Amino acid sequence: MQLVIGYLYGDLMNIYGDTGNIIALKKRAEWRGIKVKLKVKSLKSKIKKGEIDLFFFGGGQDQQQEIVATNLITSGKGKIIKSEIDRGVPLLSICGGYQLLGDYYKPHKAAKLIGVGLFPVCTLASSDRMIGNIVIESMFDKLVGFENHSGKTFLKKDAQSLGTVIKGFGNNGEDKTEGCIYKNAIGCYMHGPLLPKNPKLADWLLKKALETKYKRKIELKSLDDTLENQAHNSAIKKFG
């Protein structure tokens, strides 16, 4: 089997160490004998339907977000990404990437950035900088990460949060929600990078990608996650 991972704007939206998620996905697939092809899809790229099996969209600063938000609309990539998610392709987006997949993001200085409208959420820049370790309760049990954002994201009434904050700020530091999940797409504020310390979530993304691509149920061979679980559990012990 082979997987094509689409790294959205990987040359622009990558300053918070989120590329570590790509490494984790790639290694966890290759350790199971699954070939992985990585495609960075940025300003000049096109995305064809069926080309990408798993999307990743990392964090970035307001300046890059302004460029990327415009490109998502003018290039038509935003529309294609949304239709791919609607047919079950999984996606993980972190912070700045997550914000641009909502309805809009209003930065401090710039005009409102219209989002892709994948997640029913909207984000407003705030004067608080929400930084620190975060632990949430979710459908993947506890998830641990590190957050660094000023944007406050608010879920619209039909939105499903990824989880509930046990420690940290989450979407906005007010309503105890963190992230958003829509079909097999996840948005959240959890840098870290997220996936090396949360192998259950990493494998869920891989499984969903393979099952959507090959149109059948797929069980992933289990890996020795001793180190990953040690990192996960020590973060919970320390912060959760």
Residues that bind ligand GLN (CB under 6 A): 16, 59-62, 65, 95-96, 148-151
- The side-by-side arrangement of strands in the sheet containing 185-188 is 35-41, 2-8, 54-57, 91-94, 185-188, 180-182
CB of 29 to ligand GLN, least distance (A): 25
We find the least distance from the C-beta atom of residue 99 to ligand GLN, in angstroms, to be 6
Please calculate the CA angle 160-97-26 and round it to the nearest 5 degrees: 95
Specify which residues 60 forms β-bridges with: none
Considering the complex, state which of residue 193 and residue 240 has its C-beta at the smaller distance from ligand GLN. Answer: 193
**Is 129 labelled a binding residue?**
yes
Please tell me which residue in 122, 149, 180, 191 is annotated as part of the active site: 191
| Residue closer to ligand GLN, measured from CB, 189 or 206 | 189
- Of 77 and 149, CB closest to ligand GLN: 149
Quote the least distance from Cβ 115 to ligand GLN, whole Å.
Answer: 13
CB of 194 to ligand GLN, least distance (A): 12
Nearer to ligand GLN, 36 or 189 (CB): 189
Output 42-45 pairs: Cβ under 8 A, ≥24 positions apart: 42/8, 42/9, 42/10, 42/11, 42/12, 43/9, 43/12, 43/67, 43/68, 43/71, 43/75, 45/75, 45/77
| Whole-angstrom Cα Rg for the chain | 17
149 is catalytic: no
The catalytic residues are 95, 191
Annotated binding site for substrate: 129
Annotated binding site: 129
